[in-house]
Structure 1
């Protein structure tokens, strides 16, 4: 089942994703003054007790001299056959190194790390890593335009696009991959973990928005 965030939900999500706090870390070495190339590992966000949440991967972000940015993601252990929302998270403006949340970020004690609980660590959405079309926060949950994991839970993504926020913050962003089929039903549904706390009353399954992987310069 596919879900697309309505315009009102996007507004709510944008306010929810407001960043707070930062972690300082050394930046990767930029190979030239024209091309920035940054490689990060992606590690699991949720506790090991969360079913079907054990995943891993890697990402590479390249800022190009033509004003575009190229993002590559290679991940495995994801919910097979399902689309996975992916974003570049951070703080648009002065260089700020953010961080990734871990199981301890579960402040409400429900057993899951949600988007609102993760946002203080990795910041707001700077770019949506869609396969086609818009790459802004407005496409945060346009699941029909995100990469789909294969039957083995492996996902490969590569796209070069123009997004000023992504380009300006390529060396400080966090890559976040979402989507966990908690109950193993083969789809994102309300039976798995209920409704997404991101937008109460939206009917969007928590499974579709749940962060599964995160990685970036501060990690």
Structure 2
């Protein structure tokens, strides 16, 4: 090919880059959109409530009504009466989508925001984050299927009901982890029964960690890997326990042109 012909081809390519690359770019964009359609990732930073010293983070990848949940929690009450402390946890829905703060939510002045006192902020149970079996609100106080110990990693894929999905997508869902160290509470609170299961002490079911679920671009829970399960059943015989249940397309186009140009020069 003569120098004049090569120059003409280069000028034609420069004059119509949009026509050459628009289709690959559009195809790439539409493919990416299709892959992410109907799927979103949500994160919750779990902050302490009620004198709890722990913290944690939870990631929820939602596709339709399927939720892939991974969570890391540490620093909570470890044992009670010689057994691993069960920490029931839930996705709460149907309220303001926030966590209580300050003392205004403590209506009876005992120094503890009980589960029911916090309900106007985070709502009722939408889904129980159990380690196995039932995930409905009916399993909300079942310690046999709750993660246990002061620190735990949790991982489970579950099917959510429509009310929980709607709350998550509208930014009104909140993660609440329950179970306080009773020795950190006031004498009044230590003597009070649970507002959910009167046969238990107040500490057993009161909120320890709380965090609203928010849309996130993160692909993993901060703080390390997550192991399946995380719950324990040790100590279930203890008397206090209960049995309540664009760039890539442009690169490709450029490479194609260079190969053709080199072939013409040979």
- Structure 1 residues 217, 133: CA separation in 2 closer, same or farther (over 3 Å shift)? closer
Equivalent in the alignment of 1:85: 88
When the two chains are superposed, the root-mean-square deviation of aligned CA atoms in Å is 2.3
Secondary structure of 1:170 counterpart: helix
Question: What's the offset of the Cα at 1:85?
Answer: 0.4
Contact 2:93–2:164 (CA<8 Å) still a contact in 1?
Answer: no
Secondary structure of 2:36 counterpart: coil
Equivalent in the alignment of 2:70: 72
Question: What's the offset of the Cα at 1:197?
Answer: 2.4
Deviations 1:182-201 (A, max 9, x none): 228xxxxxx944311235xx
Equivalent in the alignment of 1:34: 38
Deviations 1:160-183 (A, max 9, x none): 011223333334210000001222
Equivalent in the alignment of 2:132: 132
Equivalent in the alignment of 2:199: 203
Equivalent in the alignment of 1:60: 59
Structure 1 or 2: more helix by fraction: 2
Secondary structure of 2:168 counterpart: coil
Contact 2:96–2:123 (CA<8 Å) still a contact in 1?
Answer: no
Aligned pair count? 168
- For residues 195 and 88 of structure 1, the distance between their equivalents in structure 2, rounded to whole angstroms, comes to 23
After TM superposition, where is structure 1 displaced by more than 6 Å over at least 4 residues in a row? none
Contact 1:106–1:117 (CA<8 Å) still a contact in 2?
Answer: yes
- For residues 96 and 59 of structure 2, the distance between their equivalents in structure 1, rounded to whole angstroms, comes to 16
- For residues 136 and 158 of structure 1, the distance between their equivalents in structure 2, rounded to whole angstroms, comes to 17
Secondary structure of 1:169 counterpart: helix
TM-score w.r.t. structure 2 length?
0.58
Contact 1:181–1:192 (CA<8 Å) still a contact in 2?
Answer: no
Contact 1:97–1:217 (CA<8 Å) still a contact in 2?
Answer: no
TM-score w.r.t. structure 1 length?
0.70
Q: Which has the larger radius of gyration?
A: 2
- Residues 100-179 of structure 1: pairs in structure 2 closer than 5 A: 100-104=99-103, 105-149=105-149, 153-164=150-161, 165-171=163-169, 172=171, 173-179=173-179
Question: What's the offset of the Cα at 1:123?
Answer: 0.8
Question: What's the offset of the Cα at 1:62?
Answer: 1.3
- For residues 138 and 205 of structure 1, the distance between their equivalents in structure 2, rounded to whole angstroms, comes to 20
- For residues 151 and 46 of structure 2, the distance between their equivalents in structure 1, rounded to whole angstroms, comes to 13
- Structure 1 residues 133, 75: CA separation in 2 closer, same or farther (over 3 Å shift)? same
Secondary structure of 1:183 counterpart: helix
Deviations 1:88-121 (A, max 9, x none): 0012xxxx75100124221211011101110000
Secondary structure of 1:118 counterpart: helix
